[in-house]
Structure formats: structure tokens, C-alpha cells
């Protein structure tokens, strides 16, 4: 089982230059502490997230030696797939073969209107885009004719250092998205706040479909995470910022399995701690990780220690160290 760190900060977190430096400091800590990945994500029209995930991943690659670097996720339909294939391949070369490319269809209309891509085309564009990337990475030259993309005898240079089988992981939380991940991807990435029961159902459906297509069926769970020496300390340092982000994501439409909730204000931290986030003492965190592994067959975790509004950097670094020393080792 692998454990990575996922960075979710933006301009609301503070001065962009300083916040960027803090992300790089977290990435260096992840590399030093034995985490397996240090990944970026994006929204194009949001104060909570930066919108240039590959650029940030390049900087992380230059400051680390062993962690996987890349995206979880970049919004695939917003990019020219040949350029994305080339940029990702260059990141793989720069990092010595450490690329982790996670793509998703996107779910916020503002992300698409910001760059002039029709929101209704996102699923087909992602489908075609992934196929273009595969062609670009496996053939010296290729042609492609789809509904949204057409290329004639083009070549991507250099190819990824990992070779033609460089994995592509796809984020999804709809039936159609899961089928796409199984058909085209090498792994499925969950959203950050689906419950363990929801993840178990989706993971089962995804793996069954992946087997049908003869594809790998690796499951990556994105989770909020905060280990602390006591539950009270965790609630003090992490509770308010986590709850603010959970409510924001519910308003975005990113949480679909809370039928009892009619407004963001109804959500409590206890709702999330019960079966959605990795939180509490190291023993409690380990119990949660084991529950996701046993019920949903999770292979890897991408952990969010810091939200756009906090906690502060020193506490984030301490939490990362506590998880690495007192939780992760139990699953190696």
C-alpha cells in the first residue's frame, strides 16, 4: 500500500509566492519522510486551488528525488491532448521516471467557461484525449480522427522515461466515469469525501469492468488526513479548516452520498470523521486506513493534510511526520 500527499492550496491560502514555497516545502518533507507521491490538483476558476498543476509538478520534481510527481487530478478536457502528452512525458524524463498522471472530466462549469471549452463536451473530450495520449506515448508517429480532436502524422518527443506502458489514472464518481476509468485507465482515483460504503460499491463496479476489458484495477483513495496525539488536539488544529472545506465541496456538488443533508450548514465534523476522513490518534488513523483497505480494497491513499484555509504550515509538517512515523509503517 502506498501513501502520497496531495496539495490543495490557492490564493485564498495567502500570498501565492509564499504558498507556493510552502507547497514545495511539504513536497520535500514528503520525499524525506518516505511518502510515495507528492501530487497537484486544479480548478481553473477558484480561489481555493491553483490552476497550473503540471507547472507546479515540475517544480516539485526538481526539489525531490524519489516521490512520484504529477497530478491527481488535472482536468483533461481543458488541454490539447498532444501538448498534455508531451508536457507529461517531459515531466517523466525530468523526474527520472516518476510521473503519476491522474486525469478527470471535471464537474464545475466555471472551469470550462474560463478557458472556452463547452462543459457538455467534457466526457467525450476526456475519452478522446486519453486515447490520443496513449497513441502519442506508444507510437513514433500517429494520426487520430475524433469528434473533437484530429491529428495527422504527429509525433511526441521525448516519450516518457517509464516507456509506452506509462500509467494513466482516471478520477470518477459516476457510473459512466467508472466505466471510462476501467476501459481506458490503469487505475481509478476516488473523490476526497465519499464514504467507505460508497467507495466499496464503486471499487467493486470498477474492478469488475476493468477485468472485463483486461485492464489493471488499481484503486486510489483521496482522503483528508490529520493524525494527532489526541482527538481533542486534532479537532483544535484541523477541525475548523476541514469542516469549511467539506462544506465548500458539498456546495460544489462533489459530495453525492449525504441524502440527509439539505444545506452545507447541516454537515458536522463528526459526519466526516465517522466514515470519510482519516483523523484522530495514530491508532484511529490506522483503523480507518484498514477499514478502507478491507471494505473497498484500496491500494493507495493520496492524503490532504492542508486545506486552502489551513492548518498552518508548521502543524502540517508535524502531522505529515506523525503519519509517516506512526501510521504508514504499519502497512508497508
Query: Residue 78's pLDDT is what?
Result: 97
Q: Is residue 267 within 8 Å of residue 246, measured between CB atoms?
A: yes
Query: Residue 154's pLDDT is what?
Result: 97
Query: Residue 308's pLDDT is what?
Result: 86
Query: Residue 287's pLDDT is what?
Result: 97
For the chain, the structural domain boundaries read: 2-331
Q: Which of 116-120, 254-258, 263-267, 291-295 has the lowest mean pLDDT?
A: 254-258
Query: Residue 255's pLDDT is what?
Result: 84
DSSP for 236-280, please give it: IIIIHHHHHHHHHHHHHT-----TT-SSGGG--HHHHHHHTSEEE
DSSP for 74-89, please give it: EEGGGS-HHHHHHHHH
Average pLDDT, the chain: 95
Query: Residue 45's pLDDT is what?
Result: 81
**Does residue 79 or residue 261 have the better pLDDT?**
79
Confidence check: pLDDT of 285 > 90: yes
Across 311-332, average pLDDT: 96
Query: Residue 241's pLDDT is what?
Result: 87
pLDDT band for position 331 (cuts 50, 70, 90)? very high
Q: CA 155 to CA 163: how far, in whole Å?
A: 15
Q: How many CB atoms lie within 10 A of CB 189?
A: 28
Across 30-49, average pLDDT: 93
Contacts for 21 with CB less than 8 Å, ≥ 6 apart: none
* pLDDT (tens digit per residue) in 83-92: 999 999 999 9
pLDDT band for position 272 (cuts 50, 70, 90)? confident
Confidence check: pLDDT of 48 > 90: no
pLDDT band for position 249 (cuts 50, 70, 90)? confident
Query: Residue 236's pLDDT is what?
Result: 94
Confidence check: pLDDT of 235 > 90: yes
| Cell 478502507, residue located | 292
Query: Residue 128's pLDDT is what?
Result: 98
Q: CA 219 to CA 228: how far, in whole Å?
A: 26
Q: Is residue 151 within 8 Å of residue 180, measured between CB atoms?
A: no
Contacts for 291 with CB less than 8 Å, ≥ 6 apart: 196, 275
The vertex-306 CA angle with 304 and 310, nearest 5°, equals 155
Across 160-170, average pLDDT: 95
The answer to whether the predicted template modeling score (pTM) of the entire model surpasses 0.75 is: yes
Confidence check: pLDDT of 117 > 90: yes
* pLDDT (tens digit per residue) in 98-112: 999 999 999 999 999
Specify whether domain 2-331 bears CATH 3.40.50.1980.
Answer: no
Pairing of strands 187-189, 168-171: parallel
State the virtual CA torsion across 168, 173, 178, 184 in degrees, nearest 10.
Answer: -20
Provide φ and ψ at 75, rounded to 5°: -85, 95
Confidence check: pLDDT of 311 > 90: yes
Query: Residue 181's pLDDT is what?
Result: 97
Rg of the chain on CA atoms, in Å: 19
List the alpha helices (DSSP H) in 7-69: 16-33, 53-62
Q: Where are the beta strands (DSSP E) in the chain?
A: 2-7, 37-40, 68-75, 99-104, 142-145, 150-154, 168-171, 187-189, 218-227, 278-280, 300-304
Query: Residue 254's pLDDT is what?
Result: 81
Query: Residue 166's pLDDT is what?
Result: 94
Phi-psi region of 116 (alpha: psi -120 to 50; beta: other; left: phi over 0): left
* pLDDT (tens digit per residue) in 195-226: 999 999 999 999 999 999 999 999 999 999 99
Contacts for 40 with CB less than 8 Å, ≥ 6 apart: 6, 7, 50, 53, 54, 56, 57, 60, 70, 71, 72, 74
Provide φ and ψ at 279, rounded to 5°: -150, 145
Amino acid at each position: 500500500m502506498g501513501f502520497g500527499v496531495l496539495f490543495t492550496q490557492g490564493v485564498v491560502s495567502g500570498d501565492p509566492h509564499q504558498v507556493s514555497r510552502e507547497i514545495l516545502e511539504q513536497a520535500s518533507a514528503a520525499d524525506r519522510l518516505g511518502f510515495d507521491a507528492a501530487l497537484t490538483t486544479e480548478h481553473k476558476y477558484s480561489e481555493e486551488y491553483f490552476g497550473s498543476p503540471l507547472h507546479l509538478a515540475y517544480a516539485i520534481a526538481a526539489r525531490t528525488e524519489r516521490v512520484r510527481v504529477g497530478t491527481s487530478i488535472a482536468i483533461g478536457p481543458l488541454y490539447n491532448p498532444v501538448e498534455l502528452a508531451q508536457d507529461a512525458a517531459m515531466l517523466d524524463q525530468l523526474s527520472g521516471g516518476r510521473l503519476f498522471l491522474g486525469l478527470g472530466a471535471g464537474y464545475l462549469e466555471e472551469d470550462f467557461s474560463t478557458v472556452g471549452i463547452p462543459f457538455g463536451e467534457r466526457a467525450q473530450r476526456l475519452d478522446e484525449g486519453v486515447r490520443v495520449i496513449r497513441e502519442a506515448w506508444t507510437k513514433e508517429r500517429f494520426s487520430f480522427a475524433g469528434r473533437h480532436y484530429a491529428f495527422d502524422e504527429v509525433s511526441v518527443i521525448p516519450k516518457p522515461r517509464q516507456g509506452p506502458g506509462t500509467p494513466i489514472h482516471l478520477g470518477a464518481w459516476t457510473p459512466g466515469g467508472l466505466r471510462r476509468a476501467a476501459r481506458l485507465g490503469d487505475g481509478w482515483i476516488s473523490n476526497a469525501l465519499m464514504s467507505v460504503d460508497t467507495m466499496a460499491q464503486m471499487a467493486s463496479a470498477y474492478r469488475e469492468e476493468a477485468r472485463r476489458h483486461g485492464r489493471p484495477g488499481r484503486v486510489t483513495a483521496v482522503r483528508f488526513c490529520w493524525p494527532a496525539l489526541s482527538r481533542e488536539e486534532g479537532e483544535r488544529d484541523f477541525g475548523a479548516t476541514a469542516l469549511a472545506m467539506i462544506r465548500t465541496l458539498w456546495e460544489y456538488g462533489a459530495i453525492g452520498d449525504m441524502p440527509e443533508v439539505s444545506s452545507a450548514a447541516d454537515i458536522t465534523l463528526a459526519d466526516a470523521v465517522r466514515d470519510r476522513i482519516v483523523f484522530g490518534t495514530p491508532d484511529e488513523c490506522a483503523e480507518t486506513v484498514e477499514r478502507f483497505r478491507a471494505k473497498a480494497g484500496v491500494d493507495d491513499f493520496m492524503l490532504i493534510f492542508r486545506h486552502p484555509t489551513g492548518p498552518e504550515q508548521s502543524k502540517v509538517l508535524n502531522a505529515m511526520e506523525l503519519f509517516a512515523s506512526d501510521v504508514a509503517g504499519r502497512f508497508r
